Structure 1
Amino acid sequence: MNKFLYVLLVSLLVCSCSSYQKALKSDDVAVKYAEAEKKYDAKKYNKAIRLFEQMAPAFRGKPQSEKMFYMFAQSYYKTEQYYLSGYQFESFVSSYPKSEKVEEAAYLEGKSYSMLSPSYSLDQIDTVKAIDKLQTFIDTYPNSTYLPEANAALKQLTDKLEKKYFEIAKQYNTISDHKAALVALDLFISDYPGTQYKEAALFYRLDSAYKLAINSIPAKMEERLKNAKVMYGNLMKFKEDTQYKEKADDMLVRIEKDLQQYSK
């Protein structure tokens, strides 16, 4: 009995492989489609992809093309080929705007690009693209069941961009390019007024203004000291019990002491 079952299983596998190989070699699009759908339903996405890739150029405009291209995009997504799934979902949304799957496809388009978003320290082209796609989805489908997931993904991406631009601005302070730091930190605070890094950005702006002032030539020192004092006030206004208070207070003592020479 066990031997019989073994032989039967082997026979079924041979037949299955045979039908797949025949479909790969066939010039009949209908044969390829039937086998691809069978592999897709069995979650054998890589095998389905090979067939979808073969038939895709000739399949547009056919009655089953909408379903085929949806499965094609999903197969790439399920196998974590996110560049390709993003492209295919984007194409699906453009080609089948009245499809019952278009909302899901629009969400997965943005989700695909979000999965490509790298660490904040790397180039953020894919992050920016994902933000654009997800925001478009949210604006287009404000009542979607995918909205909570889209909003969560969007927040994660925007937080990553905030961190990158904050670290860039902070880096100017670290390398003692205080003029560039002031410009970069001003832009960061302006672009991200509600950022979680605002307290730190205000401190490093003060620090840069302070160091620029005390290392200035006499002709520019008074103006820069006054500017640093304004930066101190901005930090205290934002958060009086800031974690940087001790350092900021020490700077203020030096600023006021140096300003005394200009009040005589």
Structure 2
Amino acid sequence: MKRLLFACVGVVLICSGCAWFESKEEKSAQELVQDGVDYFEDGRYKKAVESFEKLRDWYPFSRYAILAELKIADAYFNLESYADAIFAYEEFEQLHPRNEAIPYVIFRIGRSYFNQIDTIDRDQSNAAKALETYQRLVQQYPEDAYAGMARSDMLACYQSLSGHEFYVGLFYYKNKNYKAAKARFTAVVEKYPDVGNHYKALTYLANCDSWNQSRSQPSEVPSAP
């Protein structure tokens, strides 16, 4: 009876092992990359990620593996899963720093941050990160076409950062905190000139100085009768 039981268990394990190998090897690297590309072109990005991840994990030394890594990042980008896209693009850059696609990869990292920029009354960390990434791209690959594309986005980043500084400065100004307001308006003038808020900031700076001067003036002491 025990022998029969062990024999049955052995058969189950062998069959399970065969099923695992069959499921793993049922598609070649070329078939998986074709599936991934087809899914991607049809807009089925989650399915594309699944196919490309299988290719990357099952056939890490395949000539299609690098393409799979890049398309995973692109699929996440198109899904607007920007945190996942940034992670995938940065991992690609770390693994393949000399790959010809690196300017595109850096641009996509910047655009992932850029697409998350909020209104000027909200936190501007995405605008700052986008600008930093674009600046790196322009510095490293100044003649690349993606550097040219980055430059147009950089202007929008400057405008968003400038708008935020002006917005906060105006808030302080309306609440008569002229020292804090002056610091914000000064930042607009010095860091982000010529992007739309420069002259307005100069006007408010002058007003802040006027208020500060009036406060610093000693009050008149009435003369003795």
SS in 2 for 1:26: helix
1:83 and 1:116 in contact (8 A); partners too = no
**Cross-structure match for 2:169:** 169
Q: How far apart in 1 are the matches of 2:26 and 2:206?
A: 68
* Structure 1: gaps (5+ residues): 1-21, 222-264
> Does structure 1 residue 219 correspond to structure 2 residue 218?
yes
Q: How far apart in 2 are the matches of 1:217 and 1:150?
A: 47
Question: Number of residues paired by the alignment?
Answer: 198
- Structure 1 211/29 Cα, relative in aligned 2: closer, same or farther at 3 Å? farther
**Cross-structure match for 1:252:** none
Q: How far apart in 2 are the matches of 1:35 and 1:27?
A: 11
1:36 and 1:49 in contact (8 A); partners too = no
- Structure 1 208/103 Cα, relative in aligned 2: closer, same or farther at 3 Å? closer
**Cross-structure match for 2:111:** 111
Give the structure-1-normalised TM-score.
0.64
- Structure 1 137/65 Cα, relative in aligned 2: closer, same or farther at 3 Å? same
Spell out, residue by residue over 1:133-191, the C-alpha distance to the aligned partner (whole angstroms, 9 max, x if none): 11111111111122332111111111100110111122211111123223332343233
Q: Partner amino acid for 1:130?
A: A
Q: Which runs of 4+ in 1 moved over 4 A?
A: 29-33, 53-63
**Cross-structure match for 1:203:** 203
CA RMSD of aligned residues (A): 2.9
Q: How far apart in 1 are the matches of 2:67 and 2:111?
A: 20
Q: Partner amino acid for 1:40?
A: V
Spell out, residue by residue over 1:51-101, the C-alpha distance to the aligned partner (whole angstroms, 9 max, x if none): 444565566555432111011111112222222112211211221123232
Q: How far apart in 2 are the matches of 1:27 and 1:70?
A: 22
- Structure 1 100/187 Cα, relative in aligned 2: closer, same or farther at 3 Å? closer
Q: Partner amino acid for 1:39?
A: G
- Structure 1 204/40 Cα, relative in aligned 2: closer, same or farther at 3 Å? same
Percent of matched pairs sharing the same residue: 19
For 1:128-167, what aligned pairs fall within 5 Å after superposition? Answer: 128-167=128-167
* Structure 2: gaps (5+ residues): 1-18, 221-225
Q: How far apart in 1 are the matches of 2:157 and 2:186?
A: 22
